[in-house]
Amino acid sequence: MQMLGLCDMLLDAATNRPLSDAAPAQLEKSAAARRLILRSREPISSVHVICRGWAATSEYLRNGRRQILPFALPGDLVCASLFADVSRYNVEAVTRVNYRSFDRAALCVATRTRPDLVDLITRLAASQMERIAELAVDLGRRSAAQRVARLILSLMERLEKSGMVRDQAFNFPLRQTHIADALGLTTPYVNQVLNTFRRKGLISFEKRSLTVLDAPRLRAMID
Amino acid sequence: MQMLGLCDMLLDAATNRPLSDAAPAQLEKSAAARRLILRSREPISSVHVICRGWAATSEYLRNGRRQILPFALPGDLVCASLFADVSRYNVEAVTRVNYRSFDRAALCVATRTRPDLVDLITRLAASQMERIAELAVDLGRRSAAQRVARLILSLMERLEKSGMVRDQAFNFPLRQTHIADALGLTTPYVNQVLNTFRRKGLISFEKRSLTVLDAPRLRAMID
DNA sequence: CGTAAAATTGAGCTGTCTCAATCAATGTGG
DNA sequence: CCACATTGATTGAGACAGCTCAATTTTACG
């Protein structure tokens, strides 16, 4: 009973469906913007799924620099919590974030009776891995402008899948610091790149809402 | 029977144990240096495990640039073959490589009766993911010298685990091109960094064998 | 032993960073 | 609901890490 409930909830959460009646609302936790959802070195006992808002998984280096790994959007697993027993990363809320936590041991058990759950977790893990690998390629071999273009386009694609894009526009809560730290750049330079994009009529940006004005040309910049 | 055999073989392969009698030698495939083990866009039906030699998973961009993801050493799964149905990467042999392929469908089935197999695969997937994430951090936020230092040290650590390091020395088949493409650099610059390391007495290098002369100082360079 | 692959070197250049100062926006407490 | 406090955006001048493009030498190998 309980396992099935948990399993369905994970399915709901990961497919970004609203809470089913079976899943009482109080199970959803919340974190204000900039709060940590998961701390580096913290032991992990459950897997988190983002329901609302954006989160950033990141590592801080001793010299104070930060690298952000792919952002977690609604419907995403928090990858830092997927396999490791102790988190190697911080996961911090970019906006206010609602999320649900699923006990890992219970998930493991549920796995035995629900093959679809295994599929789901496998698929989610696979797309996590793919996104991190793509990030590595970007960081290693693409210019600043290409990285920014790719970030914008990939966020748009991901949001489109859950119907969060209208008329090429979507809510874009990232600060330039987030962009810089996600793409291995500095804020002043990100600023410069974004302004170039605006000047060229590729994107526009107002009130935390980003519009992609010319997706084809933006895509053409990559490679 | 067959499943158990397959499962044991994967366990053997991934723990870098020699072939057990149960696993006939002819199951081990081989690829000469520079040959592709897996081609980008190729459909994947089996998971490959490296038994001998080094392999590089990489993506080629349209502009001819290449990014290498973490190298696969003996005992490693080829990560490109782990979850995706179609490969997004090339996997090419750096040296002559011996490897074994395990049918994914069969593995899935074997999974039901062998919980240790699930553990193994999970653990292997987790360490793949961790390595790619570390690479992303290196590429985004560390200097060329730091990246090279980290590559050397992390390869050494990985090889130590399977007893392939003696007196701080190990076989190092990578060309400077591999290092450059793995670390988002160019060959001339890699050359310069390596020479600096030699001049400083941090490493030495002869006949494809690399010796870490001063691990503490090399480690101290990082962060 | 000849040929292809890899390493080395150097001069000049450029993408991106640093540092610092200023300005705008956003949130908060009274 | 305003004034301050904090956080984020913008700008500019100068610096440098790492790149480009050859040319040359060395090494590996059939």
Q: What is the pLDDT along chain B (223 residues), one digit of tens a residue?
A: 444 455 566 767 666 665 554 454 447 889 999 999 999 999 998 999 999 999 999 999 999 999 999 999 998 999 777 888 899 999 999 999 999 998 888 888 888 888 788 888 888 889 999 999 999 999 999 999 999 999 999 999 999 998 999 999 999 999 999 999 999 999 999 999 999 999 999 999 988 999 999 999 999 999 8
pLDDT, one tens digit per residue, over A148-164 is 999 999 999 999 998 99
Amino acid identity for residue B169 in this structure: A
Nearest to B139 among A128, A139, A181 (CB): A139
3-state helix, strand, coil in chain B (%, to 5): 45, 20, 30
**Any alpha helices (H) in chain B, and if so which ranges?**
2-14, 104-113, 115-141, 144-161, 176-183, 187-199, 215-220
Nearest to B69 among A59, A136, A181 (CB): A136
From CA A42, how far away is CA A37, in angstroms rounded? 11
Tokens of B197: 């390391």
Task: Give B93: exposed, middle or buried? Use CB within 10 Å, 0-12, 13-18, 19+.
Answer: buried
Nucleotides of C under 7 A from a protein CB: 5-11, 15-20, 26
From CA B5, how far away is CA B116, in angstroms rounded? 14
Question: Under 8 Å CB-to-CB from B147, ≥6 apart: which residues?
Answer: B138, B139, B183, B184, B185
Distance from CA of A219 to the nearest CA of B (A): 13
C-beta atoms of A141 and B61 within 8 A? yes
pLDDT, one tens digit per residue, over A60-96 is 999 899 999 999 999 899 977 788 889 999 999 999 9
B102 DSSP β-pair partners: B47
Which of A68, A111, A123, A129 to mutate to probe the B interface, most B CBs <10 Å?
A: A129
Task: Transcribe A196-217 into DSSP letters.
Answer: HHHHTTSEEEETTEEEES-HHH
In eight-state DSSP terms, residue B213 is S
Tokens of A25: 């609302």
List residues in chain B touching A: CB distance below 8 A.
Answer: 59, 61-63, 65-67, 69, 79, 82-84, 88-89, 122-123, 125-126, 128-130, 132-133, 135-137, 139-142, 181, 183-184, 223
pTM of the entire structure?
A: 0.92
Q: Which residue is nearest to nucleotide C16 (CA to C1')?
A: A189
The alpha carbon dihedral of B70, B72, B73, B78 has a sign of positive
Three-class SS of residue A62? Answer: coil
Nearest to B140 among A82, A125, A184 (CB): A184
Give yes or no for a contact between A72 and A56, defined as CB atoms under 8 angstroms apart.
yes
